[in-house]
């Protein structure tokens, strides 16, 4: 309901005295309103259309036209306008029946102190219902647009700031459905126990929804890709922007395995979409392809924290990239960015750890951040452990460091262990 300077109230009441009591109650409680009173059915029907009230108050018992009939007319013509029944005395069964037929509340005339709180509650329910309907419509539109034109998917959602818990739950369910629920194997299709690579993940949203997102994809029979990103922004709008990454993620499945080309295409798409919007948005991202037949790791980075590589042969922990933000800006920041593809060798027993910055920005009671150095040392101490156990130990290290201080950002951690290398014909 749009904001009005004065609340418009339509009152069906045949008693001058009772009408004055209601008007005085509204005035004394500071509810600024325009009250129009009618007594007959023709007057009620005419004013219902002409006056366009925000709230309707109905006296139940009138000589020729009762509140029950008026309620039916109001709900048939304007079902969203709250209707409050008022009566001197009425049976409980009648009151229950009126509420079932759509009345927002039932107030006895000797309890008029309930009138203003009842009106406020009814209007608040209208606002919540209208907001929920808008958000549900936006989410339905988003799902339809994902199948046709990705560039149109997020525009309406980004224009809204979703404040209601029902909508947060809806957004959470949608977001969780986008995450990888099964990890690929190498060779493709073998049982996880026989795979040459093994994965594990930890995903801890700060609130009901998260701005972090990851996906693990089968690139070929001997190669897998890991995509991880962090949407920069505030509130549910930024979190729901991860839905857009689902559309872009489809390109991973069609990728030839060139991470730099993929991030370049993503940046072009984002820049083109953001020109249509009034909101700024950017995404840090990293895409890594590991080919166990070639013993190679290729990757591209867009302003994202560099993943760590634990070398089994030397027990050393390395950051796979030294690129800084000026060399590899986040997606959506600048036009014409060409993201380079870098490469390094990997061997059997090596372990790759990708993450979002919420992991290293966790602070303790002294406002000290966990930091990249501490994360690297935690990984090094876990050398030789299976990837799932290592990640659990890392997360335990972080919780001990925080010592009860709540996390200030989402946490996402994805690990990959290379069990063995194998020739391309395997």
Strands 55-59, 7-12: parallel, antiparallel or unpaired by DSSP?
parallel
Of 68, 91, 126, which one is at a domain's C-terminal end? 126
With cut-offs at 50, 70 and 90, classify the pLDDT of residue 376. Answer: very high
| Same domain, residue pair 210 and 80 | no
Specify the pLDDT at position 110.
87
Res. 95: pLDDT tops 80: no
| Domain limit, last residue, from 95, 126, 157 | 126
My answer on whether 399 and 305 are in the same domain is yes
Residues 6 or more apart in contact with residue 148 via CB below 8 angstroms:
none
* Between 274 and 226, residue with greater pLDDT: 226
Question: For the stretch 327-355, what's the b/e string if a residue is b when 16 or more beta carbons lie within 10 angstroms of its beta carbon?
Answer: ebbbbbbeeebebebbeeebeebbbbbbb
* pTM, rounded to two decimals: 0.58
pLDDT score recorded for residue 82: 92
> Can you give the pLDDT at residue 392?
94
In angstroms, the CA 380 to CA 310 distance is 7
Tally of CA atoms within 13 A in the half-sphere of 179 that contains its CB: 22
My answer on whether omega of the bond before 176 falls inside 30° of 0, hence cis, is: no
Q: Name, of 1-15, 223-237, 404-418, the range with top average pLDDT.
A: 404-418
Same domain, 59 and 185: no
What mean pLDDT do residues 268-286 have? 78
Among 150-164, 237-251, 383-397, 398-412, the minimum mean pLDDT is found in: 150-164
Instruction: Tell whether 199 is covered by a domain.
Output: yes
Residue 218 sits in a domain of what CATH number? 3.60.40.10
| pLDDT tens sequence across 227-256 | 998 887 655 555 556 556 665 666 555 555
- Can you spell out the DSSP letters for 259-284? HHHHHHHHHHHHHHHHTT-SS--EEE
Identify which has the larger pLDDT, 57 or 149: 57
Residue 286 falls within a domain, yes or no? Answer: yes
Same domain, yes or no, for 95 and 160? no
Q: Is the dihedral angle over the CA atoms 73, 75, 76, 77 positive or is it negative?
A: positive
Q: For position 105, what pLDDT does the model report?
A: 87
Question: Structure tokens of 386?
Answer: 């299976």
| Statement to judge: residues 122 and 175 lie in one domain | no
User: Both tokens of residue 112?
Assistant: 């008029």
Per-residue pLDDT, 407? 84
Per the structure, how many domains does the chain have?
2
DSSP 321-351: ----TTTSPPBTS-TT--PPPEEEE--TT-E
Residue 63's CATH number: 3.40.50.2300
Is residue 237 domain-shared with residue 374, that is, in the same domain?
yes
pLDDT at 85 over 90: no
Residue 139 lies in a domain: no
Tell me, yes or no, whether 2 lies in a domain: no
In this structure, the answer to whether residues 171 and 118 fall within a common structural domain is no
Question: Does 154 lie in the same domain as 116?
Answer: no
Q: Is residue 204 part of a domain?
A: yes
pLDDT value of residue 362 = 92
In a domain, 138, yes or no: no
Q: Phi and psi at residue 301, in whole multiples of 5°?
A: -130, 135
The predicted pLDDT at position 1 comes to: 43
Q: Indicate whether 110 and 182 sit together in one domain.
A: no
Which domain-ending residue is among 126, 157, 174? 126
One domain, residues 47 and 155: no
Write down the pLDDT at residue 395. Answer: 93
Contacts of 341 (CB under 8 A, 6+ apart): 258, 259, 260, 261, 298, 299, 300
Q: What is the DSSP secondary structure assignment for residue 95, as one 8-state letter?
A: H
The answer to whether 270 and 332 are in contact (CB under 8 A) is yes
Find out whether 360 and 407 touch, Cβ atoms under 8 Å.
no
Domain check: are 245 and 345 in the same one? yes
Residue with tokens 């404040």: 163
The reply to whether 168 and 112 lie within a common domain is: no
Chain segment 48-63, per-residue pLDDT in tens = 999 989 999 988 888 8
Is 323 within a domain?
yes
In a domain, 143, yes or no: no
State residue 3's pLDDT score: 44
Q: Which domain holds residue 154?
A: 149-418
């Amino acid at each position: 309901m749009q904001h009005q300077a004065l609340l418009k109230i339509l009152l069906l009441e045949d008693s001058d005295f009772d009408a004055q009591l209601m008007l005085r109650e509204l005035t004394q409680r500071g509810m600024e309103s325009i009250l129009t009173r009618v007594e007959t059915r023709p007057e009620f029907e005419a004013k219902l259309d002409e006056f366009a009230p925000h709230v309707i108050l109905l006296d139940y018992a009138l000589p020729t036209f009762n509140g029950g009939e008026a309620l039916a007319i109001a709900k048939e013509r304007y079902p969203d306008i709250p209707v409050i029944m008022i009566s001197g005395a009425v049976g409980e069964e009648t009151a229950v029946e009126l509420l079932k037929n759509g009345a927002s509340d039932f107030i006895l005339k000797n309890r008029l102190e309930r009138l203003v709180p009842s009106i406020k509650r009814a209007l608040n329910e209208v606002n919540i219902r209208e907001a929920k309907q808008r958000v549900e419509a936006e989410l339905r539109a988003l799902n339809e647009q994902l199948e046709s034109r990705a560039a149109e998917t997020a525009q309406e959602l980004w224009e809204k700031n979703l404040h209601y818990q029902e909508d947060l739950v809806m957004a959470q369910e949608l977001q969780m459905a986008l995450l990888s629920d099964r990890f690929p194997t190498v060779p493709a299709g073998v049982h996880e126990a026989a795979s040459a690579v093994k994965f594990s993940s930890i995903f801890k949203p700060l609130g009901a929804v998260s701005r972090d997102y990851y996906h693990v994809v089968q690139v070929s029979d001997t190669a897998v890709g890991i995509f991880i990103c962090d949407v920069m922004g505030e509130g549910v709008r930024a979190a729901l922007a991860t839905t857009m990454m689902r559309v872009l993620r489809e390109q991973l499945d069609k990728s030839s395995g060139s991470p730099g080309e993929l991030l370049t295409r993503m940046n072009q798409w984002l820049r083109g979409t953001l020109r249509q919007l009034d909101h700024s948005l950017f995404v840090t991202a990293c895409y890594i392809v590991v080919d166990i037949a070639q013993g190679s790791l290729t990757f591209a980075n867009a302003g994202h924290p560099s993943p760590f590589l634990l070398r089994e042969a030397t027990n050393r922990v390395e950051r796979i990239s030294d690129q800084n933000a000026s060399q590899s800006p986040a997606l959506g920041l600048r036009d014409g960015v060409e993201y380079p593809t870098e490469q390094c060798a990997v061997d059997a027993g090596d372990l790759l750890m990708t993450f979002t910055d919420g992991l290293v920005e966790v602070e303790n009671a002294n406002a000290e951040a966990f930091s990249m150095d501490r994360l690297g040392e935690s990984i090094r101490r876990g050398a030789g452990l299976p990837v799932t156990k290592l990640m659990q130990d890392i997360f335990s290290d972080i919780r001990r460091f925080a010592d009860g201080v709540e996390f200030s950002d989402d946490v996402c951690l994805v690990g990959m262990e290379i069990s063995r290398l194998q020739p391309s014909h395997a």
